[in-house]
A and B are shown apart, each in its own frame.
Chain A
Amino acid sequence: MSLEDAFGDEPAFVPYLAVGDPTYEQSLEYVEALAEGGADVIELGLPFSEPIAEGPTIQEAIVRALDGGMTPERFFEFVEELDVDVPLVCMTYYNLLYQYGEGVGAPTDAPRPFVERAAEVGIEGFVVPDLPPEEADPLREVCDEFGLDLVFIVAPTTKGDRLAKMQELVSGYVYVQARLGTTGAREDVSDQTDQSLARVADWDVPKAVGFGIKTGEHAERIVRAGADGVIVGSALVDIVAEGHEQGEDTAVVAERLREKAIELKQGALAGAAAQSPSS
């Protein structure tokens, strides 16, 4: 299924987890639990040592995953082994795409080898937080070659020409950043969301809102505001972190993730019901 199709008729729930957090095996069960809980698309974080767009929660997840031995090649093996029936998006930083390939240093045709391998294991698209449209042409080109999508993040500060350039390059869905700042779960849902959604209203890709969503109620409000989907990362990573710190069984943590996924998916559905013309 393509990313765009995954958004379908009802609002999509798009969870994020850092792959390999805290271990490869646990991470497999956690991602599968999210799929069981109703995920429509899953963003798989490939850990990079300098995650400048992430808040403390995901930074710590990345450290745990790197300490656990996660590498780009292990990430691809993970995707191959993963037993889920939803489209998968790889979220990582540009240097890892750029360096992947044979030999020492970046391959001359970077980032083609990375994209080729990602396509081979079944990745459908990419989110690269440190790659603005200004620098994205080489990646867009190879994504086209392999039929993969390239998702862009629209920030509350994104305006004018830059919006137009992004609209031209984006595919799959657009990631609407709900508020300024790094990733992380928050108590409130910013009203910058409405304005950000309004700016991409006429784009012909689904609009998924992320940054700060942690409850079903948040998800409901975001969908009611017009989003086609909700992206949730830190609230899920928190569950993984807590399970790790408490030394809980993988199955217990996985069940908690599944329940959280159900809550968020149900919230999104409730938002759509409230939004429908008959209500």
Chain B
Amino acid sequence: MSTESKFGEYGGQYVPEALMPAIEELTDAYERYVRNNEDGFMDEFKERLDDFGGRPTPLQRADQLSERYGIEVYLKREDLLHGGAHKLNNALGQVLLAKYMGKERIIAETGAGQHGTATAMAAAHLDMPCEIYMGETDIARQRPNVFRIRINGAEVNPVTAGRGTLKEAISETMRDWSQTVEDTHYVIGSVVGPAPFPAMVRDFQSVIAAEAREQIQEKYGDLPDSVLACAGGGSNTMGAFHEFVDDDAVSLYAVEAGGSSLAVDEETGVAPNSATLSTGDEGVLHGARTKLLQDSHGQIMESHSISAGLDYAGVGPELAYLVDEGRVEAVNIDDDAALTAFHRLSQDEGIIPALETAHAFGYLEEYHDSLGDCVIVNVSGRGDKDLETVIEETENRDLPIAPDMDLFRAIGGGSL
């Protein structure tokens, strides 16, 4: 068993018995190939991540934002990774690991479609058949990614249960895996699920912080005062934080989706937010003990965020632990502030961020006075996939920063 199966009381392996042998096999493979570089696994992973993925990604000084806020703002440009998001770091690592393990088929869940896209790309790159489970609601609001997944040759299996978002997609992928464990690897998309997934996904993503930590010292001459990353399940968050956790002087902010309200509706089982770290309670979901959005009986709530990728009722157990320990501060930004930040970064810096990423910039916009002299923001992904949503949501609001929406109305509203 991995030494990192638990983070304090969080983590563990709460899965159906049929999956346990696969989890044990994966734990063994993780220890050997990822932790100990057996057969040169990590060397091959890094080489492919450079050549296929385009690493290292730049750390860029944001000149306009630095001037606007009066602090040094640096952007870790994971949006420039192949596929347009940090997700490839993990997907490529796991698909390659599946190959080393002799698996013949890849399955994955996806929320925003970024992980599904990254997994489909990695599977095509490494010549593995691939099926992606995606909730119907997410399929409707993330169409460009559905096309990208299909174009890369992977199947998309719509999930109709519940509200049809990430939570249901994970449950359905686990069901597939419980029937196919012998030849199939489940590429989980975040630092969630049973051990060893949270530690393993973090390890694959920690290249973000490893690069950023070196780059900031080259460019700024010192460590940053703060690192900001958005948090849904928490994979870009843990990736951006991991190498800074021991740097006590560096404050770490996990920015969750505040949605439209932090209140919950117990009657309908809906939380109009995805602020699990800020408002959730300890419980067990999808294989791990962690913080959850749940009702008083322990039924899991339907979360909400304007960004599909943050729309999840759970969060990675290690991140929950770091928040409890006081090492990471959990904060949240509502839909309106995230949209404002989306337009800000697009207009000021010429970077269209994913709506997930925009939450981190929303926090920067509102709280830049309390973040110290130098801040790194992890630009976890680019926002092309969100343009339809952004046009629609911007039209529904009165945001001072928004571009003139008349033009969009003239060419047919929210449908590009």
Contacts and interface: CB of A to CB of B under 8 A. Distances in A.
B262 to A, nearest CB: 15
B175 A52 contact: yes
B21 A158 contact: yes
A94 B15 CA distance: 10
A157 B18 contact: yes
Nearest to A154: B17
B292 to A, nearest CB: 8
B300 to A, nearest CB: 5
Contacts of B15: 52, 130, 132
Contacts of B179: 180-182
Question: By CB atoms of chain A within 10 A, which of B15, B181, B297 has the most?
Answer: B297
A52 to B, nearest CB: 5
Contacts of B283: 95, 98-99, 106
A71 interface: yes
Nearest to A106: B282
Contact of B13 (A52, A63, A134, A177): A134
A156 interface: yes
B285 A95 contact: yes
Interface string B146-190: 000000000000000110000100010011001111100000000
Nearest to B283: A95
Question: By CB atoms of chain B within 10 A, which of A72, A94, A134 has the most?
Answer: A134
B412 interface: no
Interface residues on A, range: 35 or more
Secondary structure of the B contact surface, majority rule: mixed
Contact of B14 (A104, A135, A153): A135
Interface string A118-140: 00000000000111101100000
Given A157-B18, A162-B24, A181-B18, 19 more contacts: A49-B162, A50-B285, A51-B171, A52-B175, A52-B178, A59-B161, A94-B14, A94-B284, A95-B285, A96-B299, A99-B297, A104-B281, A106-B282, A129-B16, A153-B17, A154-B17, A155-B16, A180-B178, A181-B179
Interface of B: 12-18, 20-22, 24, 161-162, 167, 171, 174-175, 178-182, 269, 281-287, 292, 294, 296-300
22 contacts: A52-B175, A52-B178, A52-B286, A63-B161, A71-B297, A95-B283, A95-B300, A130-B15, A130-B16, A130-B287, A132-B17, A153-B17, A157-B18, A157-B22, A157-B181, A158-B17, A158-B20, A177-B17, A177-B18, A180-B180, A180-B182, A181-B175
